[in-house]
Amino acid sequence: MRPMRFFEDHSVAAQSLLESLPSGIALIDDHDAIGDLNHCLADMTGYELHDLVGRDIQILVPTVQEDTNFDLREEFARSPSDKHIVRYRNLTVLCHDGSELSVDFACSQLKLDGRSWVVAAFRDNTVQRAAEDARIVAESHAVAIETAAAEALAQSEQRFRLAFEGNMAPMVFSDRSGMFLAVNDAFCRMSGRTREELIGNDSKQFTYPEDVGITEDVYQAINSGETDQVRYGKRFLHKNGRIVIAEVSISPARDETGVAKYYVSSVRDITEERALAAQLSFQALHDPLTGLANRALFDDRLSQAHARVARQDGNGAVLLIDLDDFKGVNDVYGHLVGDELLISIARRFEQVTRASDTLCRFGGDEFLYLAEGLNSRAEAEQIAQRLLGVLTEPFSINDVHIDQRASAGIVVWDGTSTNIVELVQNADAAMYEAKRQGNGHFVVFTSDMRHEAASRFALVQELRQAIASDQLSMHYQPIIDLTTTEVVGFEALMRWSHPERGWVPPDVFIPLAEKSDLILELGTFAIQEAVTAASSWEPSGDRALSPYVTVNLSARQFHDPGLVPMIERELERSGLEPERLILEVTEGVALIDISETMIVMDQLNRLKVGMALDDFGTGYSSLSYLAALNPKIIKIDQSFVRPQHDRKRSDTLLEAIITLGNKLDMIVLAEGIETSAQLERLHNLDCDLGQGFLWSPAVPVDEVTNMLGEIPKI
């Protein structure tokens, strides 16, 4: 049965009034039951009128909400006045379909027909609430945006402080005139100045004098619109006076019209970088040992000098200086002493090097000198004299005193010269000619020397082939006992039979070999051949002794660590008695390093191999060392046997040498005997042995046997 509505018993006017209201209206009795309601409330909640009439108000307002915000009776009990109105904002009503509806709610008490009623008005506030929520959200978003903006600004300021204040690279803000507006700590450190000293000033106060104006030109270029970012280099003066080389990058901050308001500069201290680059450049163009120019720098300077001479006339010159017998220094004293000697020589050369010229270490023991602005060949010769002259004073290296000489080749050119490559080659050809003339000389290049240089080069190549193709052989010159005229030994002398050139003299190919490692190969060949030949020689003469053999050693071979082991192997291989092998060295070789010489001689003595001191009287002739060396034989140079000048003085020296040898119990051997008069003179002076063309030149090995069977006739 459908429940009866309250207003069905009342006037139509009351019913119409209830329906005309824009809000949903419900009449609630004192038992919280809905007595009546209008269609607006039914439509709002999705119910039919009859579904709500007689139902508890809680059908619309859930208990959970009643407990929290919808206790009408309690509200009216606190204010029993009939006019009291209770309002709720954003009350949630439960609709028929279970959805929730947000409403504004207001109610008041009503006395009608002796009963207490509550008139409740419900107004849908969904739109307003959505708008309010949107407003709240918008306000929240606005607050969030403002907060985010503030945080972003703070973060930006923090990033700026990190990028500017905390940047390890020096940075500067400056105005359009270049005055500093702000500087960071790194810039203060780079300049050695405080912020107070910098801000309000420009960089002129500590710019290197020659670089003043560079920054001002950059500002002008930017202000004129020529460029928008510039990178340039300049030098600053640190407060302590140190020069700071910097690379500056500058950019303008422009306003909306494009006018530069201020400048931001980032500065990079490249002082160490430039120093390293300079060091690397120096190392690339200079000799690491002496600090002189190297070949690359010399070639560049030579090319420029050649071009200047071609334009301006005049002359230029290249001098190639080669140290005499420097290899012996390394062999005897070691490379450390050799390097120190090279450094000392370089310093002396620098003392006489003209400011316009270039001194270069060519490599090893050779130096190049480039002279410019010469007027004549004589000026080049004067330079050579000065360079060689600084070597006359002995060098003292690690308590070792060394006399070091050098030879020089000079090539002079003028504006007509076109080939600079040949200049050094021609200087080398002239230097070789100077060497040929003797140590300590210089020679100026002439055109015929080029042909000689080419011939020498070809000869060296052919000498290498000669070793492998059996073109070399040993010849033997007899050594005679001047008392018995018996053959007591032979000196082994190398010969080269060239298939096209014929016999090549030893004084031609031996010096060539000494300039390369070929001399060691030739030395080994000589010893091998000599001990093999001597091992087959039978005893001869009244003494019935087998003749010995002497072999010459070069300086490099004598000081070669492999010499003694090689001799020991060859003696064992050939079966030759060690006493029959005599090794010859010159005074100069023996006395280069007396301590090293004593070590080698001690090793040879243990092998029972003898030692002969060759060319005695022509070298350094230290008599105090002669007793210490105690050679088995001293060989008198032929210049005393066949004197060219002052015969009387030579005779006196010859007698003194022979007497000295006899007193020291050494065998005295005279070289180069060619006449009977010379022989008689030596015999009268009690000279022991002799050799020379008076008896025989050096002969092939197969002719030695014939000599052993007869006594040479004079």
pLDDT tens digit sequence for 156-182:
556 666 667 667 778 888 888 788 888
- Statement: residue 492 has pLDDT above 90: yes
Res 335: pLDDT: 82
Residue 674 has pLDDT above 50, yes or no: yes
Beta-bridge partner residues of 52: none
- Say if residue 394 is in the same domain as residue 485: no
Which is more confident, 559 or 533? 533
The runs of H, that is alpha helices, within 353-495 are: 377-389, 421-437, 447-468
Q: What is the pLDDT of residue 69?
A: 44
Least confident of 461-470, 528-537, 645-654, 684-693: 645-654
- CATH code for the domain of 643: 3.20.20.450
Q: In sequence order, what are the beta bridge partners of 658?
A: none
Give the per-residue pLDDT at 124.
83
Residue-level pLDDT at 68:
43
Query: Is residue 21 a part of any domain in this protein?
Result: yes
Lowest-confidence region among 57-66, 390-399, 688-697:
57-66
Does some domain include residue 293? no
Residues 188 and 94 placed together within one structural domain of the fold:
no
More confident residue, 262 or 520: 520
* Residue 633: predicted pLDDT: 92
How many structural domains compose the chain?
Answer: 4
Indicate the burial class of 386 (C-beta count within 10 angstroms; 0-12, 13-18, 19 or more). middle
- pLDDT of 58 over the 80 cut: yes
382-425: pLDDT as tens digits: 999 999 999 999 999 888 888 899 999 999 988 777 677 788 88
d(CA 590, CA 117): 145
Mean pLDDT value across residues 623-649: 76
Q: Collect all residues with Cβ–Cβ distance below 8 Å to 574 and sequence separation of at least 6.
A: 531, 532, 534, 535
Residue 373: CA count within 13 A, CB half-sphere: 5
Task: Please report, for residues 375, 408, 426, 582, the alpha-carbon distance to residue 380 in angstroms, rounded to integers and kept in the order given.
Answer: 9, 11, 15, 47
Express each pLDDT in 274-299 by its tens digit.
877 777 767 778 888 899 999 889 99
Shared-domain flag, residues 541 and 688:
yes
Q: Is 516 a residue whose pLDDT tops 80?
A: no
CB 404 within 8 A of CB 323: yes
Instruction: Tell me, yes or no, whether 152 lies in a domain.
Output: no
Predicted pLDDT of residue 116? 78
Which DSSP symbol is given to 204? Answer: G
Residue 434 lies in a domain: yes
Residue 222 pLDDT > 90: no
The neighbouring-strand residues paired with 112 are 115
pLDDT at residue 173, rounded to an integer? 85
Checking if the pLDDT of 122 tops 80, the result is: yes
Q: What is the mean pLDDT of residues 485-514?
A: 89
Look at residues 555, 554, 547, 557 and name the one whose alpha carbon lies nearest to residue 579. Answer: 547
| Same domain? 603 vs 694 | yes
Q: 66 pLDDT band (50/70/90 cuts)?
A: very low
Percent of the chain with pLDDT over 70: 83
Give a yes or no: residue 425 inside a domain: yes
Q: Which residue has the higher pLDDT, 623 or 58?
A: 58
Whether residue 150 is predicted with pLDDT greater than 70 in this model: the reply is no
pLDDT at residue 226 above 80?
A: no
63 and 105 in a single domain? The answer is yes
Q: Residue 63 has which token pair? A: 């208990």
Residue 567 pLDDT: 95
DSSP secondary structure code for residue 461 in this structure: H
**Quick one: pLDDT at residue 609?**
94
The pair of structure tokens assigned to 113 is: 């027909």
Residue 613 falls inside a structural domain = yes
Question: Do 196 and 114 share a structural domain?
Answer: no
Q: For residues 646, 442, 593 and 399, what is the CA-based torsion angle, rounded to 10 degrees?
A: 110
Residues 539 and 574 in one domain: yes
Distance CA 540, CA 426 (A): 54
State the residue range of the domain holding 644.
477-492+532-708
The CATH number covering residue 246 comes to 3.30.450.20
> Which pTM value belongs to this model?
0.50
Res 13: pLDDT: 57
Which span out of 76-80, 134-138, 151-155, 467-471 was modeled with the highest average pLDDT? 467-471
Q: What is the pLDDT of residues 585-635, one digit of tens each?
A: 886 676 666 677 788 888 999 999 999 988 776 654 556 667 677 889 989
pLDDT tier, 380 (very low <50, low <70, confident <90, very high otherwise) = very high
The pLDDT score that the predictor gives to residue 67 is: 44
What whole-number distance in Å separates Cα of residue 265 and Cα of residue 252? 9
Give 709's pLDDT tier (boundaries 50, 70, 90): low
Find where tokens 């001990």 sit.
531
Strands 610-616 and 633-636: parallel
Which region among 80-94, 390-404, 560-574, 650-664 has the lowest average model confidence (pLDDT)?
80-94
Supply the pLDDT for residue 218. 81
Last residue of a domain, one of 86, 101, 124: 124
Task: Indicate if the pLDDT at residue 267 is higher than 70.
Answer: yes
Mean pLDDT of all residues in 553-560: 84
- Asked whether residue 62 carries a pLDDT value surpassing 60, the answer given is yes
Residue 225 has pLDDT above 80, yes or no: no
The rounded radius of gyration (Å) of the Cα atoms in the chain is 58
pLDDT of 590 reads: 67
Q: Which residue has the higher pLDDT, 176 or 321?
A: 321
**Do both 177 and 252 map to the same domain?**
yes
Residues 88, 49: one domain?
yes
28 belongs to a structural domain: yes
Arithmetic mean of pLDDT, 655-674: 90
Q: What is the mean pLDDT of residues 552-566?
A: 88
pLDDT of 148 > 70? The answer is no
Q: Is the pLDDT of residue 211 over 90?
A: no
pLDDT at site 531: 95
Do 266 and 318 lie in one domain? The reply is: no
Residue 95's φ and ψ, nearest 5 degrees, are -80, 170
Distance CA 333, CA 322 (A): 19
pLDDT in tens, 74-89: 665 555 555 567 777 6
Asked if 398 and 372 count as a contact pair (C-beta separation under 8 A), the reply is no
Query: Is pLDDT larger for residue 468 or for residue 564?
Result: 564
Do 247 and 372 fall within a single domain? no
Both structure tokens of 239: 């407060």
Q: How confident is the model at residue 260 (pLDDT cuts 50, 70, 90)?
A: confident
Are 255 and 303 part of one and the same domain? no
Higher-scoring residue by pLDDT: 327, 470: 470
Name the average pLDDT for the chain.
82
Distance CA 184, CA 179 (A): 15
Determine, yes or no, domain membership for 427. yes
CATH code of the domain containing 337: 3.30.70.270
Share of the chain above pLDDT 90, in %: 25
